[in-house]
Chain A
Amino acid sequence: MDDPTVSSTAAPPLTGARKMPLRRAGSGAVGDRVFAALAYAAGMLVLVLLGGIILSLLIGGLPAFRAFGPHFLVDANWDPVQQQYGAAVPIYGTLITSVLALLIAVPLAFGIAFWLTELAPAWLRRPVGTAVELLAAVPSIIYGMWGFFMIVPFMSSYVQPFVIDGLADVPVLSDLFQGPPFGTGIATAALILAVMVIPFIAATMRDVFQTVPAVFKESAYGVGCTTWEVMRSIVIPYTRVSVMGGIMLGLGRALGETMAVTFVIGNTNRISPSLFGPGNTIASLVALEFPESPAGSLKLASLLALGFILFVISFIVLAISRLLLRPRAGA
């Protein structure tokens, strides 16, 4: 540790040429300061952006928060004629579609990640992994169109009549799956969302599965464990926290998804007890109602207030996901 300081203080008398190094150091210092300032300013800009998003939504939504108070959160009305707006239905729709989507997506994503890390032959890992990642790259509007023209007719003519008839005599499930088979609705939206978040969750799971030290797995194989037992007893316990982080990341994606949901959810502002019933989410309601909301209207303020609520929900989810996915200090 001492050597550099010694040599640097000793260097000038040795070289003798004091002027050149000094001037160079001077011009470099100006460039350094400018560059550092630029980098610092860019870093601060990111913080300002987040602050700007929060503030603009909050300020824009203030008239709605002021007009309706906390009641805004639990009011199920959305009545442009009476100028009465509430957030309960879209909040419910956002949460239920996202949670249902996760219920479908997590097992599939887990299967894909497990297959890619432990089971797949080496030459297939890369192409299949890339294909799954490409699923995440397909724009959400495409999922919306595909869902609207392919999945909705499929649901209304095959899945829904079958399920509604099949469960008609089962006490609780018949209420959950009832109503006319429109094809659109909460269940269809959840299905599309599931397809969209599978690649995100699968990619995260695959990455965290790969962090398990090989020696742990080899020890388990060494005592005669099957691949599944290694997965269950070594890989999952080791990566539990990060896997939860990946699931939360998928949830964060699902909560704010707009275009795909707008196409297939049916866009009705009431809470339907049936999962086949139509509904809406915060994002789909904002996208649909925005064109009919003139600047300065209470309706626009309500939409911005909804945006603020969505931001708070997804911020919390994404923050938890980041905390869980943080590389562990010890590893």
Chain B
Amino acid sequence: MSASTVNPVGSRGPARDPRVAAMLSRRRQRRNMVAAGLCMAATTVGLALLALILATLLWLGAGGVHWSVFAHSTRPPGSGGGLLNAIVGSLIQTGLGTVIGTPIGLLVGTYLSEYAGNSRLGGAVRFVSDVLLSAPSILIGLFVYAVLVNPFNGFSGIAGSVALAVIVIPIVVRTTEDMLRLIPVSLREAAVALGAPKWKSIVFVCYRAALDGIATGVLLAIARVAGETAPLLFTSLGNLNWSTSLTQPMASLPVTIYQYAGSAFDDWVQLAWVGALLITFGVLALNILARVVLRPRV
């Protein structure tokens, strides 16, 4: 923090001439105004983009929302049809992925916060979990394809759920560890002083105290995987027929949007916009809900 950068007057020393001083001050103020204006513009651009995306979805998607979308499965172009199988498939896979991923993530977060301390192994787990958090989801799809789809002869809903679970885990790990670390040591000491073994003090005292934070993590994880497309392409594949069998290929909203948006049929493209509208507002609603849940803590 050298003086020359803090003081734009530089090595010439303080401007004793009041006119020079005023000029310099004006120049600095002007520069400040320009920077502030540009930053404001950047923020406006960011907000405008969000508004533009939501407006596009409403404009092109809302017109197609009709009871038949929720009543019928996907059908060949020109014969009506809806998104029921895709919606149900998405709910099943997202739900199952969350159910598989959450306990694992919770335990990993507990391990990092309560057991690993500053050990090297704990550091490695934390680092790997953070890398998985940002790793390209398409690679997780390829991994599950290689492990579950290829050897067991077929795309399946369960493979899709596992791929989503792998995405859920690091999100839950991050929030669980952060939330458990916020809990004061005195609370743990109080539990131990009452004679509770460590696991009881974690499960009945720490988890309960961190519940809203952990719930936030789970909600964010659900919101994240509900819109995932790439990993499902290689695992549950998508299915144009009604199917809730976990061992068969399963439809999902994002994959159906992908297939329909690129098609040449107007009614399919329309359905894709409806699907996009549903999934976006669902995901954003979950995000806002998660923030409301966390709010008292921040």
A-side interface residues toward B, CB under 8 Å? 21, 24-25, 27-29, 31-32, 34-36, 38-47, 49-50, 52-53, 56-57, 59-60, 107-112, 114-116, 119-120, 128, 130-135, 137-146, 148-150, 195, 198-199, 202, 220, 223, 225-229, 231-234, 237, 249, 252-253, 255-259, 263, 283, 286-287, 290-291, 295, 303-304, 307, 310-311, 314-315, 318-319, 321-322
Contact = CB atoms under 8 A, between A and B. Distances in A.
A314 B136 contact: yes
Given A50-B128, A141-B258, A287 B146 contact: no
Contact of A56 (B29, B52, B142, B173): B142
A263 B262 CA distance: 8
Q: How large is the interface on B (under 10, 10 to 19, 20 to 34, 35 or more residues)?
A: 35 or more
A57 B280 contact: no
Contacts of A32: 197-199
Which has the most chain A C-beta neighbours within 10 Å: B45, B130, B197, B288?
B197
Given A40-B115, A43-B115, A287-B230, 12 more contacts: A49-B166, A49-B169, A57-B142, A108-B42, A108-B46, A132-B46, A139-B228, A145-B272, A149-B60, A225-B6, A226-B28, A229-B28
B227 A140 contact: yes
Nearest to A56: B146
B174 to A, nearest CB: 12
Q: Is the interface of A mostly helix, strand, loop or mixed?
A: helix
Given A111-B39, A142-B227, A258-B230, A226 B46 contact: no
A28 B197 contact: yes
A45 B170 CA distance: 11
A154 to B, nearest CB: 11
A198 B228 CA distance: 19
B199 A35 contact: yes
A29 B35 contact: no
A43 B195 contact: no
Contact of B136 (A35, A38, A115, A255): A255
B17 to A, nearest CB: 17
B150 to A, nearest CB: 6
B45 A108 contact: yes
Contacts of A146: 53, 56-57
Contacts, number: 279
18 contacts: A42-B108, A49-B132, A57-B139, A109-B42, A111-B38, A119-B36, A119-B40, A131-B47, A133-B287, A135-B49, A141-B257, A141-B276, A228-B36, A256-B137, A256-B138, A287-B233, A290-B234, A315-B135
Q: Is the interface of B mostly helix, strand, loop or mixed?
A: helix
Given A60-B146, A145-B276, A315-B131, A111 B42 contact: yes
Contacts of A225: 6
B284 interface: yes
A144 to B, nearest CB: 8
Interface in B45-86: 45-47, 49-50, 52-53, 56-57, 60
A138 B125 contact: no
B129 interface: yes
B279 A139 contact: yes
Contacts of B29: 226
A135 B41 contact: no
B142 A29 contact: no
